[in-house]
């Protein structure tokens, strides 16, 4: 069954059309017309969210869990339509969209199970000690409570898992916070049909209609008015460093500053230690080529840098990587703008002093082909530009003189989402020296694997020191992400009848 978008915004339960329109720019298939968001619509959505908060924050964990499960059910019920329009808008293959839809539903259900268990509340109780000397102690209880309406910005590279009903939205709704989503213009039709699924769940479970709104399109004034609206209490964002930093600064400059949880990407360096490189350099090269080109390299965990100690094994590794990348054809990128930025990043790397072209190709329009470059550790340390993310299938091998220069590379890194060690038992001593450095630099440290593919689970951290993310103590994936939208409240000598239900 084909899905034809109506192109309206969802504002607190109502589909609203705007005066101005924009057209989607699909990779293939028909373009559709959508209403352009405005600050006035932002205001209506935020007021609806604040009105909903009064009742939604008081729902039971079971009620919210049923709501999350129902959203997942409604998304799956629209599975074929979501896949069809998602593939058209993004150019992503059908298997990728089906898998991402499954991940989106699974993380909604994971949060439902998580809040049912109740551990996230971090409940604490210090009983009164009226006879304690020299002063008695009052009865004090503590509980995590929802912070209020949350703004979420959809991501360009994940039309489902990091967008309309993705991880930030699921975490906020699980916490008891209404959500206002700013949809990404790269996939507005996908956003619309997912919003329909959320609205269906709102109706089925009897939630306040203001608990979820979706605003499409619009220029900077829409994003600015959303993060600066006085009723918004936190922002979740996945996107570029430049865009995220601009929104972060707006959040900080408010009369009442609010937290901005931005996931901004990284180069995700890999360190190939000598014994592993000698024993299985070819295998690592082939694995890297697959990870580097997965989804046209449009993952925030794309491993763009490989650090190796110069020598015959390093040369063989570079040759093997080039051989693995060479047969890979052009892939469609998510938008024309992303494709243009990829070519600009390629030119920036190629034009840097001391960089050698290993594998070059031709890419134009909305297509991406892989590139491989090499440089020395000395040149890396002298050129900060080489540490900037290139969003696409571009790899850079850094040949270092010895273990000490490899350590220097690790020290020089900015904040990363991931760092990877490829090592064998004989590399343990060097690995032990690197680990204290890498765990300071990244939110996730891997051994003998590749960082693309972020497991949604209790122990996952998808974040890291700036500029990988704007809050090093938070994660945007996994059940710990719910803590971003909660705050601890202590209740002293409070009558039981006045306490939140989870403390009675």
C-alpha span between 367 and 435 (Å, rounded): 38
Task: Return the pLDDT at 43.
Answer: 98
* Block residue for tokens 């909305």: 366
For the chain, 504 residues long, give each residue's pLDDT as a single digit of tens. 578 999 999 999 999 998 899 999 999 999 999 999 999 999 999 999 999 999 999 999 999 999 999 999 999 999 999 999 999 999 999 999 999 999 999 999 999 999 999 999 999 999 999 999 999 999 999 999 999 999 999 999 999 999 999 999 999 999 999 999 999 999 999 999 999 999 999 999 999 999 999 999 888 999 999 999 999 999 999 999 999 999 999 999 999 999 999 999 899 999 999 999 999 999 999 999 999 999 999 999 999 999 999 999 999 999 999 999 999 989 999 999 999 999 999 999 999 999 999 999 888 789 999 999 999 999 999 999 999 999 999 999 999 999 999 999 999 999 999 999 999 999 999 999 999 999 999 999 999 999 999 999 999 999 999 999 999 889 999 999 999 999 999 999 999 999 999 998
Contact 169, 179 (CB under 8 A): yes
List the end-to-end C-alpha distance of the chain, in Å, as a whole number. 49
Determine how many CB atoms are found less than 10 A away from the CB of residue 438: 20
- The count of residues in the chain is 504
Please give the Cα distance from 399 to 358 (Å, whole number).
Answer: 13
Pairing relation of β-strands 150-153 and 179-182? parallel
**Among candidate residues 266, 232, 227, the one with its CA nearest the CA of residue 248:** 227
Q: Are 366 and 27 in contact (CB under 8 A)?
A: yes
| Residue 1 pLDDT | 58
Please indicate whether residue 439 is annotated as part of the active site: no
**Which of the following is catalytic: 196, 263, 389, 405?**
263
Contact 488, 122 (CB under 8 A): yes
DSSP state of 211: G
Q: What integer pLDDT is reported at residue 218 of this predicted model?
A: 82
What's the CA gap between 333 and 307, in Å, rounded?
27
Q: Quote the radius of gyration of the chain (alpha carbons, Å).
A: 24
Active site residue 419: no
Residue 170 neighbours by CB distance under 10 Å: 27
Give the residue among 317, 247, 240 at the shortest CA–CA distance from 282.
Answer: 317
**Distinct helix (H) and strand (E) counts, the chain:** 14, 21
pLDDT number for residue 18: 86
Q: H helices of 57-178, where?
A: 61-77, 79-90, 94-117, 167-175
Judge contact between 72 and 107, C-beta under 8 A: no
Q: What is the DSSP string of 446-481?
A: EESS-S-S---STT-----STTSBS-TT--SSSGGG
**Beta-carbon contacts of residue 188 (< 8 Å; ≥ 6 apart):** 5, 7, 24, 32, 34, 89, 216, 217
pLDDT of residue 3: 81
Catalytic residue among 177, 251, 300, 419: 300
Quick check: helix, strand or coil at residue 253?
helix
């Amino acid at each position: 069954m084909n899905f034809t978008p109506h192109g309206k915004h969802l504002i607190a339960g109502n589909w609203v059309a705007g005066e101005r329109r924009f057209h989607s720019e699909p990779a293939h298939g028909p373009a559709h017309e959508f209403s352009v968001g405005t600050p006035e619509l932002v205001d209506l959505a935020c007021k609806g969210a604040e009105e909903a908060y009064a009742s939604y924050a008081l729902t039971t964990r079971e009620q919210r869990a049923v709501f999350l499960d129902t959203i997942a059910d409604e998304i799956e019920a629209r599975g074929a339509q979501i896949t069809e329009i998602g593939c058209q808008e993004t150019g992503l293959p059908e298997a990728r969209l089906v898998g991402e839809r499954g991940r989106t539903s699974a993380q909604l259900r994971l949060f439902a199970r998580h809040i049912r268990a109740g551990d996230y509340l971090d409940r604490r109780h210090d009983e009164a000690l009226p006879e304690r000397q020299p002063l008695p102690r009052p009865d004090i209880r503590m509980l995590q409570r929802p912070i209020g309406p949350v703004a979420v910005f959809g991501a360009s590279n994940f039309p489902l898992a990091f967008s309309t009903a993705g991880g930030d939205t699921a975490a906020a709704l699980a916490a008891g916070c209404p959500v206002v989503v700013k949809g990404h213009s790269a996939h507005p039709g996908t956003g619309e049909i997912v919003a329909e699924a959320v609205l269906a769940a709102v109706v089925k479970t009897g939630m306040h209609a203001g608990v979820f709104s979706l605003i499409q399109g619009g220029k900077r004034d829409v994003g600015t008015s959303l993060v600066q609206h006085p009723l918004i209490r936190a922002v979740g964002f996945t996107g570029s460093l430049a865009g995220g930093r601009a929104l972060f600064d707006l959040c900080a400059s408010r009369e009442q500053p609010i937290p901005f949880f931005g996931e901004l990407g990284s180069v995700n360096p890999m360190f190939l230690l000598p014994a592993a490189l000698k024993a299985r350099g070819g295998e690592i090269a082939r694995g890297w080529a697959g990870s580097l080109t997965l989804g046209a390299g449009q993952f925030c965990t794309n491993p763009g840098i490989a650090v190796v100690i110069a020598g015959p094994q390093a040369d063989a590794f570079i040759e093997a990587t080039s051989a693995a990348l060479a047969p890979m054809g052009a892939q469609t990128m998510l938008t024309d703008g992303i494709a243009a930025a990829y070519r600009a990043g390629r030119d920036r790397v190629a034009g840097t002093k001391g960089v050698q072209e290993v594998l070059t190709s031709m890419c134009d329009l909305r297509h991406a082909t892989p590139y491989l470059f090499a440089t020395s550790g000395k040149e890396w340390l002298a050129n900060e530009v080489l540490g900037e993310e290139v969003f696409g299938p571009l790899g850079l091998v850094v040949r270092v003189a010895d273990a000490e220069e490899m350590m220097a590379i690790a020290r020089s890194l900015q904040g990363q989402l991931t760092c990877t060690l490829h090592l064998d038992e004989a590399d343990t001593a060097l690995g032990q020296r690197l680990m204290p450095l890498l765990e300071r630099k990244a939110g996730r440290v891997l051994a003998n694997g590749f960082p693309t593919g972020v497991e949604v689970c209790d122990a996952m951290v998808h974040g890291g020191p700036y500029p990988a993310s704007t809050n090093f103590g938070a994660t945007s994936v996994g059940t710990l992400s719910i803590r971003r939208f909660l705050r601890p409240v202590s209740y002293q000598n409070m009558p039981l009848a006045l306490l939140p239900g989870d403390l009675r």
